[in-house]
Amino acid sequence: MSDPRLSRLLERLPQLLLKSEAGDLEYYGRDWTRRWTPAPLAIALPSTTQEVQEVVRWAVTEGVAIVPSGGRTGLSGGAVAANGELVISFERMNRVLGFDSVDRILTVQAGLALEALQRAAIGHELIYPVDFAARGSCSIGGNIATNAGGIRVIRYGNTREWIAGLKVVTGTGELLDLNRGLIKNSSGYDLRHLLVGAEGTLGLVVEASVRLTDPPPASNVMVFAVSAMDDLMQVFAACRRKLKLSAFEFFTDRALEHVVAHGAQDPFEQVSPFYLIAEFDVADEAQQADALEVFEQCFGNGWVNDGVISQSSAQAASLWRLRESITESLAARKPYKNDISVRISAIPAFMQAMRTIFEREYPHYDVVWFGHIGDGNLHINVLKDDATTDAMFIVECERVTRLLAQTLAEFGGSISAEHGIGLVKKGYLLGTRSAAEIAVMRGIKQVLDPHGILNPGKVFDGAGVGSRE
């Protein structure tokens, strides 16, 4: 290690795994945004909480910023290290630590992949229900950092609802043991919830106790082709009124075209502007009959022009691929992404307002919509044409994102539903949070990270390493 600061770190922690090769710096220094050139000081890969604490204490002494790193599947630049920070990767802290069968709580280290956590839950004949397409790559620590939601929020809620306790290392190296798995705990502020969604700016999650639940009953999937935007909500209302929904998603014809080109099978002969996919319980004959009734009602009222109900688990998986493969099918095009939310009732009016803006401002770009109608979360992916440079593409997209943020403010929405603020969206935070709220957020960070070393520059600009503001 040529940097004397790293030499002093290894003197304190001779067993610490430290990487500084160029390939490692690039690999660990970025997330899926790919918009910043990685330039970390080095990569630390601790294996214990005590090592994390000691690394933080070293960082305070040396005045080195820290960027926490999980699966780095984030889309807002929250895990980017572009300014000489030390990346702390939690990939070696990936163990299941214990299971309490009475409380139904699984305790795991922060670096455990979501899919591995789900498998561990199944091993106890239970489930951890938060789920999304990046399950094999993302870590539970990263899910906690962004309060990740996914495809079944309509039934199970976001990550926050399933966190029974956290162990967190603050910006001074102190270990906080938050809530300890209690169901009722009215003893002051619940700091556990403060850390969920904080994007590593208030503390480093090293351990999580997550609640598990019973597996869902048998389910079916149906997909509808829809011609009119307002009919999306008519179908949603009908399904929610009659069925026990676990997911209700939508995507556009542009999304379907990309997914089919990527290998999925199109179940429809004619193209429609919108598609809906619903997953619902069919535990008994009554629920099966309700599903057929809703299916027929949607056709009878002219809300849909085509549809299919899965007849097997294989067909259900094939139908889900139409939705879950969208992000993968677009990845090679390096889309500019917006992840926003509005109240469910505002979705048609908001989408119409934004489509008008996009058609006016983005006539030469392919704009792909999809998202979670059941919880008001929409994903907007803008694809560059071959004639536009990467730099100009970002400039144009950020100009239109300012219009998006203004429209969101008019609808009382959020610029980030589940991807976090990171570097990408911090310029639009004031449209979602008031100045007073942001001032409180800054004050909280100052208490938990007084030296400004934890993921500085993420969420909002302000106090950094060595600052006392």
Give the per-residue pLDDT at 419. 87
Give the per-residue pLDDT at 430. 87
Residues linked to residue 281 through DSSP beta bridges, in sequence order: 219
How far is Cα 444 from Cα 448, in angstroms, rounded to an integer? 6
Domain count, the chain: 4
Domain assignment present for residue 171? The answer is: yes
Residue 130: half-sphere exposure toward Cβ, Cα within 13 Å: 26
The CATH code of the domain that includes 397 is 3.30.70.2740
Residue 375 DSSP class = G
Give the chain's residues under pLDDT 50.
466-469
Give the per-residue pLDDT at 468. 36
Burial zone of 436 (CB within 10 Å; 0-12 exposed, 13-18 middle, 19+ buried): exposed
Contacts of 107 (CB under 8 A, 6+ apart): 96, 97, 98, 99, 100, 165, 207, 208, 209, 210
The closest alpha carbon to 192, from 232, 162, 227, 148, belongs to: 162
**Boundaries of domain holding 74:** 4-90
Residue 350 sits in the same domain as residue 397: yes
Domain assignment present for residue 306? The answer is: yes
How far is Cα 83 from Cα 466, in angstroms, rounded to an integer? 15
Residue 120 sits in the same domain as residue 166: yes
Per the document, the length of the chain is 469
Residue 356 sits in the same domain as residue 287: no
Q: Kindly state the tokens that stand for 139.
A: 């870590």
Domain assignment present for residue 467? The answer is: no
Residue 382 sits in the same domain as residue 322: no
The sign of the CA dihedral 53, 56, 60, 62 is positive
The CATH code of the domain that includes 70 is 3.30.43.10
138-150: pLDDT as tens digits: 999 999 999 999 8
Q: How far is CA 273 from each of CA 99, 256, 313, 316, 336, rounded to the nearest angstrom?
A: 47, 10, 27, 22, 21
431-468: pLDDT as tens digits: 889 999 999 999 999 999 999 999 999 998 875 664 43
Q: How far is CA 291 from each of CA 23, 240, 283, 296, rounded to the nearest angstrom?
A: 52, 11, 11, 9
